[in-house]
Every structure is written in C-alpha cells, then in structure tokens.
Amino acid sequence: MGNHCTRSSCCRKVWSYICCCSSLNKTQAKSQKGSCFVKGKVHPVSRMEKWEEKITEANSNGKILVVNFKASWCLPCRKMAPIYQELASTYTSMIFVTIDVEELAEFSNEWNVEATPTVVFLKDGRQMDKLVGGDAAELQKKTAAAADLLLRQS
C-alpha cells in the first residue's frame, strides 16, 4: 500500500479493523484532547476554534506551524506519530498540530489533502512546504530546514 493512505473507502475499511491496535490508548487520547497547549507537544486540533487559536499564535509570534493531516485508520500515520512527537519535542520554536481528516473533512479538503499522512509547513499563514506520505527521513529533513529558516530570520 506504500507509505501513505488515500482517503478511499477501501483503505478506510482495511485500516479501521486495526485501529484498536493504535499505540495511543483511550486514556492518553482523552488527556491530550483536553490539555492546554505546551511547547514541545503535539496539539490535536478537532475544532476550527482551536485551529484559529494555533494559526494566530504562530503568526503573531513569527513561528512556523507544522500541520499533520492524519487518519485513525492509516497505518503510516500511526507509524509516523512517535517521530512527529519527537520532532515537536526537539524543535520547540515551532508549533506542531495534528488534524484528523475525518473530524475536519471540509477543512482538510480546503488544504487539498488527498492522502494521509500529509504534513504542511506554514509561515505567516502561507504554505512553505508540504510532504505527502510516511517518509520519516524526509519529514526530519523538511523540519530541520524550516527550523534553519527560523534561525536565519531571527
């Protein structure tokens, strides 16, 4: 199936059966949903109000917003989750968020997300880079490049 999932019904059906095997248990998921935003943390965005909060925070502080569009049924998304968390812990000058493509389907479509995972890098509300698929090395490379850009601009 490759290193990404399309949003086709076939992929959803296959991966929905293994959704219960996710590395994030229900208690952890509940605690993350209700938590406040902290540096070095991946912030789940499930409502447009939270999106507006994060984009405003990034824009007003000159930060890069790293947006991971994912799906619970997508195996490459789950494989990338610990790497994405590690990047958030390493690059605390950037804001890392996740958006479930099914929770915010219309919003995901506005960003032309056709496969998961899709990671979009935003600076001043504009897309500066994009990665489609679960390529950990490429995600690390693009994140480091974004961090370098921030350093050069400061």
Residues in contact with 18: Cβ distance below 8 Å, sequence separation at least 6, in sequence order: 73, 75
Which pLDDT score, from 0 to 100, does residue 3 have? Answer: 67
Tokens of 7: 């949003």
Q: Would you state the pLDDT for residue 91?
A: 96
Indicate the domain borders of the chain: 5-153
Q: Taking phi first (over 0 means left), then psi (-120 to 50 degrees means alpha), and beta for anything else, what does residue 80 get?
A: alpha
Q: What is the pLDDT of residue 2?
A: 63
d(CA 102, CA 21): 19
- pLDDT in the model for residue 39: 60
- Cα(first)–Cα(last) distance of the chain, in Å? 42
pLDDT in tens, 94-150: 999 999 999 999 999 999 999 999 999 999 999 999 999 999 999 999 999 999 998
Residues marked active site are found at 74, 77
pLDDT of residue 4: 65
Quote the pLDDT of residue 40.
74
Q: What pTM value is reported for the model?
A: 0.77
- Per-residue model confidence as pLDDT tens digits over 1-40: 466 676 554 444 333 333 333 333 333 333 333 333 356 7
Report pLDDT for 38: 52
Pick the CATH number of 5-153 from 3.30.110.30, 1.10.3720.10, 3.40.30.10, 3.40.50.261: 3.40.30.10
Of 154 and 30, which is predicted with more confidence?
Answer: 154
Sign of CA dihedral 57, 44, 150, 109: negative
How many C-beta atoms lie closer than 10 Å to residue 140's C-beta? 14
Q: Tell me the C-alpha distance between 1 and 11, whole Å.
A: 9
Residue 59, pLDDT above cutoff 80: yes
